[in-house]
A and B are shown apart, each in its own frame.
Chain A
Amino acid sequence: MRAMVYRGPYRIRVEEKDRPAIEHPNDAIVRVTRAAICGSDLHLYHGMMPDTRVGHTFGHEFVGVVDEIGPSVQNLSVGDRVMVPFNIYCGSCYFCARGLYSNCHNVNPNATAVGGIYGYSHTCGGYDGGQAEYVRVPFADIGPSPIPAWMDDDDAVLLTDALATGYFGAQLGDIAEGDTVVVFGAGPVGLFAAKSAWLMGAGRVIVIDHLEYRLEKAREFAQAETRNFAEYDDIVVEMKKTTDHLGADVAIDAVGAEADGNLLQHVTAAKLKLQGGSPIALNWAIDSVRKGGTVSVMGAYGPMFSAVKFGDALNKGLTLRMNQCPVKRQWPRLFEHVRNGYLKPSDLVTHRIPLEHIADGYHIFSAKLDGCIKPLIVPAA
C-alpha cells in the first residue's frame, strides 16, 4: 500500500509499505478514504517529539471503510463506513472506566503519561497512522463508530480530533453565561473552541493570532472579535484594556508547542528542542485571564519541561484545566450540533491534497502558505 513516511525533520515521502495486518483479535483494518494533517502533526514533522522514528506513518485524523476485522470484533462489519477517534483505548482500564479515554493505560508501553495516539511517534505507542491507504485500528469495538448516513466524510474527519478537541477545550473553560472568553490561536482547534464557547453561553469571544487570514476566518466562521498580536506592543495589556482591566473569565490555549510571539521561547523550544514546547500562548493566557479565572489548555506540548509562568497562575488563583480530548465522549452531542447546523466542520477545509503529494501539503500547512487552515489528504485521489 502507499503511505506517508517520516524521513527526518522537515522531510517526508510516500512509500510502498506492507498493508497492516490483524495483530490482536479486536483489531480492524480500515481503508482510509479521508485523512487530515493536524497542527500537532507539525511537531512531529519538525522533529520536536522524542522517539519519532524514520519510517513512521503519521496521521491521527482519518475516516474510512472497514476492510478486515479480527475474530473478537462484534460491533463492526466489513464495509462499514467508520470514523475513528484519534485516541487508541481499551475501554476497560481504570481510566477508560471513568471516561478518560485519552488516558488509557493499556495501549502505550512507551509512556504512562500519555495514552495511545495513531501515527504520533513511539512516545504515543508506536502505532502507524492514517495518512496511508490502510491503517490498523486496535480495539475496533471501542473507538470507531459508524459515520451517520447524513454526514459526509469531510465533516466526519474533522470530528475525529479538531472539532472534538475545540469543543472539549471550551468545556474545560467552565464557561458561564455572559463570560468573556479569549482564545489564543486561530487554527482549526482555536476556531472550533471559539465557536463552541458561544454554544456554552459566552458573552464575548475574542480570538488572537498573528495570521490575518486566520483572524478573518475567526470573524466570519466563529463570529468572534479578533486581535492580531503583532499589532500590539503587549497583547496582555490589550486584553486588560479590552476587559475594563478585569481580564477575561476564561482563556483557551489553542496553539501549543510551536507558539510564536517571543523569539527566545520559540527558538529554544521549536528549533533547539530544549523545551517540551514554547509556552508563549499559555503564558499569555495565564496573564490575560482574570484572577480566579480558568485557563484551558488544548495546545499540544511534548513531554519535556516548558518555561511556564506558574507563579502568576498561583498568585492569581487560577484553575488550569487540560487533557487530550476523549473524542468519542463528545460525539453524540456534537452530532446534534452538526445536524442542527450550529457547527459545520468542513467550512475550515482549505486544501485537498492527494496522498502522493503529501510532502507539499505539509510544507503548505507548516509555512502557512496559500491561506491554509485545514488540509485534507485524499488517498485514492
Chain B
Amino acid sequence: MPYTAQKPPAKESSEQLRARIPGWGADLDPADRPSVPKEQFDPNLSGAHWDFPERQPEERPRERSIEHEFLTPVFGTSCPTHGVSGAIRRFSYAKYSEGRAAHWLLLLAADRVDALGSTLRSFATLRPDNPITQTGIRTEFTHHGLQSRRGQKRVDLVHQPLDVIVVAGPWVAAGLGAYAAYRKLSRAGRRRR
C-alpha cells in the first residue's frame, strides 16, 4: 500500500524465485551488469589502433547534417541522392538542422517522391514493380491470415484496413487515372478522324 511506509509483501521469496527461475539473481550485483555505470572511460577497450580513423574517400559529394563540423571519416554509400528526391534531400540537409521539423518532413516528402518516381521508372524496365509480390500479400492465404485474426482480441484489427488504403490506394488511383487518360485520348482521336 502506498498509503503506509512499508512495501507490499512479495508474492515469492528470493529463495523460491531462485529455485523456480534458472539464473535468477545471477546479475543481482550491479558490478556484474556490463552497462553499469553508463560511461566507462577506457580508450583502449574497443581495440581501435588509431586516434582518429583514416578517411574514407569521398567519391561523390556526400550530404551531411549541418550539426557536424565535417563529413565523418566513414559513411555509407548506399543509394546516392538523385533526381527530384535528391534535390529535396540535399536542400533539407543543407538548410535545416536535426532540431527542425522541416528537416524531417522534407526528408519524408523526398522518400515519397523517390518511391513514386522509382515505380514509374520501373514500368520502362523488364521488371516493373508488382504490388502483389512486393507486399507479400499472398501469405494472407498461405500463413493463416484469417485464423491469425479471427477470435483474437487484437487491437490492430481496427486500423489494418488503413494499410490496404496506403498500399493499394496509389495503384488504384494510378489505374483510374491511366484509364481516364486513355479514354480522353481515344475520344480525341475519334473526333480528329
Contacts and interface: CB of A to CB of B under 8 A. Distances in A.
Contact of A333 (B32, B108, B155, B166): B32
A312 interface: no
A109 B152 contact: no
A234 interface: no
Given A74-B49, A110-B64, 10 more contacts: A7-B115, A50-B107, A91-B46, A92-B48, A92-B51, A96-B46, A99-B45, A100-B38, A367-B148, A369-B148
Interface stretch (A61-69, A146-154, A181-189, A203-211): A203-211
Nearest to B167: A10
Contacts of B140: 363, 367, 369
Interface in B21-35: 21-28, 30, 32-35
Interface string B1-18: 111000110111010010
Interface of A: 7-13, 23-26, 47, 50-57, 72, 74-75, 88-92, 96-101, 105-113, 116, 122-123, 125-128, 138-139, 141-142, 168, 171-172, 174, 177-178, 196, 198-201, 203-204, 210-212, 223, 228-231, 243-247, 260-261, 263, 266-267, 270-271, 273, 276, 290-291, 302-305, 323, 326, 329-330, 332-333, 337, 340-343, 359-364, 367-371
Contact of A9 (B65, B104, B166): B166
6 contacts: A11-B134, A128-B76, A177-B14, A177-B25, A364-B143, A369-B139
B62 interface: yes
Grouping DSSP codes into helix (H, G, I), strand (E, B) and loop, the A interface class, with mixed when no group exceeds half, is: loop
Contacts of A363: 135-137, 139-140
B18 to A, nearest CB: 9
Contacts of A341: 22-23
Contacts of A212: 152-153
A210 B158 CA distance: 13
Nearest to A24: B56
A52 B63 CA distance: 14
B68 A50 contact: no
Interface in B43-94: 43, 45-54, 56-57, 62-65, 67-68, 71-79, 85, 89, 93
Contact of A23 (B45, B46, B57, B63): B57
The 8 closest A-B pairs by CB, nearest first: A342-B23, A363-B136, A126-B76, A91-B46, A8-B115, A91-B48, A127-B76, A50-B107
Nearest to A341: B22
A126 B47 contact: no
B154 A230 contact: yes
B175 interface: no
Contacts of B133: 13, 359
Contact of A260 (B27, B32, B47, B155): B155
Contacts of B135: 10-11, 359, 363
Contacts of B166: 9-10, 271
B109 to A, nearest CB: 9
Contacts of B51: 92
Nearest to A138: B74
A111 B111 contact: no
